[in-house]
Chain A
């Protein structure tokens, strides 16, 4: 099993550009999450999904959109990137029978 994977690993965007981050999992996770991690801070929840076809806002959702058309994939979109969105983005998944979340390797995004 690959676990939770994220594509791409690194990306540089110019202000105003758009992009989509892909999270894929083969662990049958029902729940999936997108976080961002900034220097000196813990992880903050952007959006999450409790199942295929569902999404909901987390703590810092502004400027991001998500979609979960298939159970195994959770996409994070930036429609018009801003320098404040420079961060490391983590995807995580969780099965319904346990509480711990399992994380992908992260995507380092720089917006110039």
Chain B
């Protein structure tokens, strides 16, 4: 069974500093994807970044990068130069094929990031 663990219920960071949000996963499937989503206080879920299990390089999207360590089964999100608007709940998710052409996501419980001015 697939499992996602986010061990940090809450994190604090000073504005303009970098922060790492931890995510570990467990799967026996060799093909999977790792995702990060942001949920601000307004409630919507915003896709941030994706990493495929066969991708050789770590994914980056602007200030977001995914530190993928396959042997450790970790997929940490790094946010550089934090901004006040980064304050939100962050969810790590793992995607896998579930038969046919479908692809399902399993979510972690989230980490609440607070950026202090």
Contacts and interface: CB of A to CB of B under 8 A. Distances in A.
Given A99-B33, A100-B35, A100-B50, A45 B43 contact: no
Contacts of B110: 42
A42 B91 contact: yes
Interface residues of B, number: 24
B47 A45 contact: no
Contacts of A90: 45
Interface residues of A, number: 25
Contact of A42 (B43, B47, B101, B109): B109
Majority secondary structure of chain B interface residues (helix, strand, loop or mixed): strand
A106 B35 CA distance: 19
B108 A42 contact: yes
Interface of A: 31, 33, 40-45, 48, 50, 56, 58, 88, 90, 92, 94, 96, 99-106
A96 B47 contact: no
A103 B44 CA distance: 7
Given A42-B4, A42-B91, A43-B107, A100 B102 contact: no
A72 B39 CA distance: 24
Given A40-B109, A94-B103, A96-B101, A102 B91 contact: no
